[in-house]
Amino acid sequence: MPEPDRIIRLKTVLDRTGLSRSTIYRKIAEGTFPAQIKISVNGAGWRESDVNRWIADPDAWHTSASRRNSD
Cβ proximity of 61 and 49 under 8 Å: no
Can you give the pLDDT of all 71 residues of the chain as single tens digits? 566 689 999 999 999 999 999 999 999 999 999 999 999 999 999 999 999 999 999 988 775 554 454 44
Is residue 21 assigned to a domain?
Answer: yes
- Our count of domains for the chain comes to 1
Is residue 53 assigned to a domain?
Answer: yes
Is residue 71 assigned to a domain?
Answer: no
- The whole model's pTM is what? 0.80
Domain span holding position 29: 7-65
Instruction: Give strand pairing partners of 47.
Output: 7
Is residue 25 assigned to a domain?
Answer: yes
For position 70, what pLDDT does the model report? 45
Q: How many CA atoms lie within 13 A of 33 on its CB side?
A: 21
